[in-house]
C-alpha cells in the first residue's frame, strides 16, 4: 500500500517536504492542504513587487499548480485544517465542499508564522497593513498608488525593505524604531551606519519609540501616534515581528518550546509520533551553543523541509545545524551576517572577542573598488569564529558565505587569516577582506595573551 503523506501549508518548508518526499518515494500519495489560493511563492519577493522592481505578484511563483500536478502531488487550496487526531492518524479540514477527513501515515505541520500586530487603538482602520501574503501585497500596492505619506512600524528585514519600497514609490516615509535597526542580525555599530544610510536615502527615522495608536477620519488612517505626537500619514505598515502558528499543533499534543515553536529532533520530527514540521513554526537548535531558536529564514526552512520529507518516507536523514546566514540590500547597500551577534552571544553567557576593519573590494590601485566593512566575533578562549557581519555595495554574499563555512568548520581567526584566497586586480585584492579582519583579530588575541603572561 502506498505511503500516505499529508502536509499542511505550502510555503518554503511545506513545498520542500512535498518534493523531497516525492524524490525519495515515487509511489507515495502526497497531499498538501493550503488555506490560501496561491501556489508556492516567494514571500521574500513581496516588497520588491510593491517597489516595482518585480513586475507582478504572479512573477514570484516558485512552484506552480501545474508543477505540483506534474509531480503527482495533490495541492488542495482553500483547505482550512481545523484539527489533527493523532490517535486515528487523520486530519480534519474544511473547503468549499464542507468538512472532510484525510488519513495519513506521516504528517507535516508547516503552519508558518503570522505577523505580530501590537494591540492598539486604530489598528483596524483602513490603511493599516501587514505584509505576509500576496493578498497583503496587493492591498498595500493599491494603497500606495493613492498615498503621499507612510509610516513603517518596525525596523526588521521586512520593515526596512517595505520602507525602501515606499520611498521608491515617492512616498514621504517615516520608520519608527523601538530599539535599533536589524537588532537580531547586526551589532549596534553596524545598525548606526545602516540608520545613517537610510536617512541619506530620504527615510525619516524616529528611534526609541513605538507606534502607540493610529487615528483616522471616516474609517481611514490619517496619523500615527508616536511618543504622544501625531505623525500625519496615509498608511501604516506594521512590521513588528512574526509569531509561529501553533494552535492546531498544540491541540494535537505537540510540545511547544520556549521560543513558541514546535520542538523537533534532528530528523525534524515533533514529540508526537509521525508528525513533522519545519520553517517558521519549528524550534530547532542554533548551530553555535545549541540554544533553542526559530530561524525565520527561507534557506533554513528549505533544508529542514528536505530532511523532513526524506524521513517521512523512511529515508533516514539529519537536519544540518544552521548558523542563520542572512543578507539583504537597501538602497544599494548590502548587509550580511552569520552566526552570533554580540547581543545574542551575551544573552547566552558568552562574551566574544571582536574586531571591525575597513578594507576595499579591489586593490587600491585598481579603479572601481568599494569600501567594505567586516566584523568578526570569536570565542574568547578557543579563538574559534562564532559570528560575522559585512556591509558594502558589492561582494557581501560571497564574503558571508565564506565566513559561514569558516564558522561551520570551527576555524580559528589564525586559520582564516592565512586561508588560500584567490587574487587578481580586476577581481579581488591579494588579501581578502575576511582574511584582513581575521589577521587583526588574531593580533588582538596575541596581544591579550602577552598581557596575561
| DSSP symbols for 388-419 | EEEEESSSHHHHHHHHHHHHHTT-BHHHHHT-
- Do residue 29 and residue 105 come from a single domain? yes
Same domain for 279 and 265, yes or no, is: yes
Residues 109 and 254 in one domain: yes
Residue 320 resides in a domain: no
The pLDDT of residue 77:
98
Tens digits of per-residue pLDDT, 310-360?
Answer: 999 999 999 999 999 999 999 999 999 999 999 999 999 999 999 999 999
Domain finish residue from 282, 312, 342: 312
Tell me which of 219, 240, 261 is where a domain ends: 240
The pLDDT value given to residue 191: 98
Q: What is the DSSP letter of 281?
A: G
pLDDT of residue 66: 98
Residues 184 and 262 in one domain: no
Specify if 61 maps to a domain.
no
User: Which residues does 316 contact at the CB level (< 8 Å), separation at least 6?
Assistant: 267, 310
Crossing angle of helices 396-408 and 433-452, rounded to 10°: 40
Q: What is the pLDDT of residue 120?
A: 94
Asked whether residue 66 is assigned to any structural domain, the reply reads no
307 shares its domain with 229: no
CATH number of the CATH domain containing 419: 3.50.50.60
Instruction: Give a yes or no: residue 451 inside a domain.
Output: no
Nearest one of 96, 102, 63 to 79, comparing CA atoms:
96
At residue 452, the pLDDT reads 84
pTM for the predicted model, two decimal places: 0.96
Q: Is residue 54 part of a domain?
A: no
Domain boundary among 257, 285, 312: 312
Verify that 229 and 264 share a domain, yes or no: no
Domain range for 158: 117-240
User: Is 233 inside any structural domain?
Assistant: yes
- Extract the residue ranges of the chain whose pLDDT is less than 50: none
**Is 330 inside any structural domain?**
yes
pLDDT score, position 145: 93
Same domain, 208 and 298: no
Looking at the fold, whether 255 and 294 belong to one and the same domain comes out as yes
Q: How far apart are CA 60 and CA 134, in angstroms?
A: 9
Same domain, 339 and 432: yes
Residues 333 and 411 in one domain: yes
Count of C-beta atoms within a 10 Å radius of residue 452: 6
- 421 shares a domain with 343: yes
3-state secondary structure of 48: helix
Catalytic (active-site) positions: 44
Radius of gyration over every alpha carbon of the chain, rounded to an integer in angstroms? 24
DSSP-derived secondary structure for 370-387: -EEEEEEEE-TTT-BEEE
User: How far is it, in rounded angstroms, from Cα 442 to Cα 438?
Assistant: 6
**Residue 76 and residue 88: Cα distance in Å, rounded?**
22
Q: How many structural domains is the chain composed of?
A: 3
Distance, in Å, from the CA atom of 19 to the CA atom of 2, rounded to the nearest integer, reads 16
- Three-point CA angle 256, 404, 385, nearest 5°: 95
Would you say residue 136 lies in a domain? yes
What local confidence, expressed as pLDDT, does residue 453 receive? 76
DSSP state of 256: B
Q: How far is CA 87 from each of CA 58, 61, 101, 395, rounded to the nearest angstrom?
A: 40, 36, 14, 52
Do 330 and 442 sit in the same domain of this protein? yes
Burial of 98 (0-12, 13-18, 19+ CB in 10 A): exposed
pLDDT confidence of residue 195:
98
Amino acid at each position: 500500500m502506498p505511503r500516505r503523506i499529508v502536509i499542511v501549508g505550502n510555503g518554503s518548508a511545506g513545498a520542500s517536504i512535498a518534493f523531497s518526499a516525492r524524490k525519495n518515494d515515487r509511489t507515495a500519495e502526497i497531499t498538501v492542504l493550503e488555506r490560501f489560493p496561491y501556489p508556492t511563492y516567494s514571500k521574500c519577493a513581496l516588497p520588491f513587487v510593491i517597489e516595482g522592481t518585480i513586475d507582478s505578484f504572479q512573477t514570484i511563483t516558485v512552484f506552480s499548480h501545474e508543477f505540483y500536478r506534474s509531480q503527482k502531488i495533490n495541492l488542495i487550496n482553500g483547505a482550512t485544517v481545523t484539527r489533527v487526531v493523532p490517535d486515528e492518524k487523520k486530519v480534519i479540514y474544511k473547503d468549499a465542499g464542507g468538512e472532510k477527513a484525510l488519513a495519513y501515515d506521516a504528517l507535516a505541520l508547516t503552519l508558518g508564522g503570522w505577523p505580530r500586530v501590537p494591540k492598539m487603538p486604530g489598528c483596524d482602520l483602513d490603511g493599516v497593513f501587514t505584509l505576509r501574503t500576496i493578498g497583503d501585497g496587493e492591498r498595500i500596492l493599491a494603497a500606495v498608488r493613492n498615498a503621499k505619506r507612510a509610516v513603517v512600524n518596525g525596523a526588521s528585514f521586512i520593515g526596512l525593505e517595505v520602507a525602501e519600497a515606499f520611498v521608491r514609490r515617492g512616498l514621504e516615509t517615516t520608520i519608527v524604531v523601538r530599539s535599533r535597526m536589524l537588532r537580531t542580525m547586526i551589532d549596534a555599530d553596524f545598525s548606526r551606519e545602516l540608520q545613517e544610510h537610510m536617512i541619506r536615502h530620504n527615510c525619516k527615522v524616529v528611534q526609541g519609540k513605538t507606534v502607540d495608536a493610529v487615528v483616522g477620519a471616516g474609517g481611514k488612517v490619517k496619523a500615527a501616534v508616536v511618543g504622544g505626537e501625531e505623525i500625519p500619514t496615509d498608511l501604516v505598515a506594521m512590521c513588528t515581528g512574526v509569531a509561529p502558528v501553533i494552535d492546531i499543533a498544540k491541540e494535537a499534543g505537540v510540545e511547544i518550546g520556549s521560543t513558541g515553536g514546535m520542538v523537533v529532533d534532528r530528523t525534524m520530527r515533533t514529540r508526537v509520533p509521525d508528525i513533522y514540521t519545519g520553517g517558521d513554526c519549528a524550534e530547532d537548535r542554533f548551530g553555535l551553543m545549541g540554544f533553542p531558536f526559530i530561524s525565520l529564514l527561507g534557506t533554513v526552512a528549505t533544508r529542514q523541509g528536505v530532511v523532513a520529507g526524506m524521513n517521512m518516507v523512511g529515508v533516514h536523514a539529519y537536519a544540518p545545524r544552521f548558523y542563520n546566514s542572512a543578507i539583504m540590500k537597501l538602497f544599494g547597500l548590502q548587509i550580511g551576517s552569520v552566526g552570533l551577534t554580540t547581543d545574542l552571544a551575551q544573552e547566552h553567557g558568552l562574551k566574544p572577542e571582536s574586531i571591525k576593519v575597513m578594507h576595499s573590494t579591489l586593490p587600491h590601485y585598481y579603479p572601481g573598488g568599494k569600501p567594505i566593512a567586516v566584523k568578526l566575533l570569536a570565542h574568547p578562549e578557543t579563538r574559534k569564529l562564532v559570528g560575522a557581519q559585512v556591509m558594502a555595495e558589492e561582494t557581501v554574499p560571497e564574503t558571508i558565505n565564506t565566513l559561514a563555512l569558516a564558522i561551520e568548520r570551527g576555524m580559528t581567526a589564525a586559520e582564516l587569516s592565512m586561508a588560500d584566497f584567490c587574487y587578481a586586480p580586476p577581481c579581488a585584492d591579494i588579501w581578502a577582506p575576511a582574511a584582513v579582519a581575521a589577521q587583526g583579530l588574531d593580533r588582538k588575541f596575541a596581544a591579550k595573551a602577552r598581557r596575561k603572561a
